[in-house]
Amino acid sequence: MSLLVTGSVGIDTVRTPFGYNEDCIGGSAVHFAMGAGIFTDVKFLGVVGEDFPFDLKEIFQGRRVDLTGLEIRKGSKTFRWCGSYQGDMNEARTESVELNVLAEAPPRIPDSYLDCEYVFLANTAPALQMELLSQLGSPAFVAADTMNHWIVTANDDLKELLDRIDMLILNDGEARLLTGQQNLITAAKRILEMGPRFVVIKKGEHGSMMYTREGDCFILPAYPTPVVIDPTGAGDSFAGGMMGYLAQSDRVDVISLRNAIVYGTVVASFTIGDFSIYGIRSATREMIDDRFDFMRKVTQF
């Protein structure tokens, strides 16, 4: 089944204890599509400025990504993010942000995208996420991401969005901020009361957890990666692996969701192994499946 992703396409500058990577390819939609494109056909919706220096057709070579929805907007500049990581690298420190084209009108949705069965609304303003969703037909499954900024500045819009989606994916700090609950179990239940059927809470090096409206719970550790080079985009590629698997299997039940979270975890483990998209770009489905099997073994008891 086809999968639509909309989100940012950007130019990143990142510093970690392992080095400095200036003006590299970034953005939530890019990292998501690199992960999801391993599993299924991805319809990519995004906008960049005239200054965008990368060839996305070349970057996505070997991935099943349709770039019909990529707009190169004349007279505009591409979104830029500069950040750094220190210590355990669980959280990025934003040094500077230039919204540029992301502060303008969103890209037009091609007609060929309107009947996508699976949709992922990557991190952006909740009002824009709802605007996109309103233009689609009746997708079978919709998931969304968010961040602290929107929880604080667009809380009403975000809560309206939550009533229109099937799954929310966010990190532990965001879950606590959204709900006012320090206990993540309680926070997950509060989020489900806001509308979605499923919530996935990412916990960085400590893995992730899923709760469902029916009371099912799944907790998974992170893949045991000995070296973390650059965590940028790990959360987006995690979502890409999850949604890519769900769209490929065309099933959304407890078993498929658990498998999807394992695949997302594995995809993210490749992303953090190098700067930008170069860790996940080199991963094949065979490599992904090998790590999936390893995770199955180490979590059995």
Question: Which residues, listed in sequence order, are joined to residue 24 by a DSSP beta bridge?
Answer: 12
Looking at residue 123, its pLDDT comes to 87
Do residues 197 and 166 lie in contact, with contact meaning Cβ atoms separated by under 8 Å? yes
Q: How many independent structural domains does the chain possess?
A: 1
Q: What integer best gives the mean pLDDT of the chain?
A: 95
pLDDT in tens, 76-128: 999 999 999 998 888 888 999 999 998 898 899 999 999 999 999 998 889 98
Plot region of 276 (φ>0 → left; ψ -120 to 50 → alpha; else → beta): left
pLDDT in tens, 187-246: 999 999 999 999 999 998 899 999 999 999 999 999 999 889 999 999 999 999 999 999
3-state secondary structure of 298: helix
3-state secondary structure of 300: coil
Surface-to-core class of residue 7, CB atoms within 10 Å of its CB (0-12 exposed, 13-18 middle, 19+ buried): buried
Residue 284 is classified by DSSP as -
Domain enclosing residue 95, as ranges: 3-298
Give the Cα separation of 128 and 50 in Å (integer): 22
Looking at residue 35, its pLDDT comes to 97
Q: Is residue 137 very low, low, confident or very high in pLDDT (cuts 50, 70, 90)?
A: confident
Question: Which residues, listed in sequence order, are joined to residue 27 by a DSSP beta bridge?
Answer: none
Question: What's the pTM value of the predicted model, to 2 decimals?
Answer: 0.95
CATH number at residue 69: 3.40.1190.20
Question: Which residues, listed in sequence order, are joined to residue 144 by a DSSP beta bridge?
Answer: 121, 168
pLDDT in tens, 248-257: 999 999 999 9
Give the Cα separation of 14 and 1 in Å (integer): 35
pLDDT in tens, 1-50: 899 999 999 999 999 999 999 999 999 999 999 999 999 999 999 999 99
Looking at residue 125, its pLDDT comes to 85
CA atoms within 13 A on the CB side of 250: 5
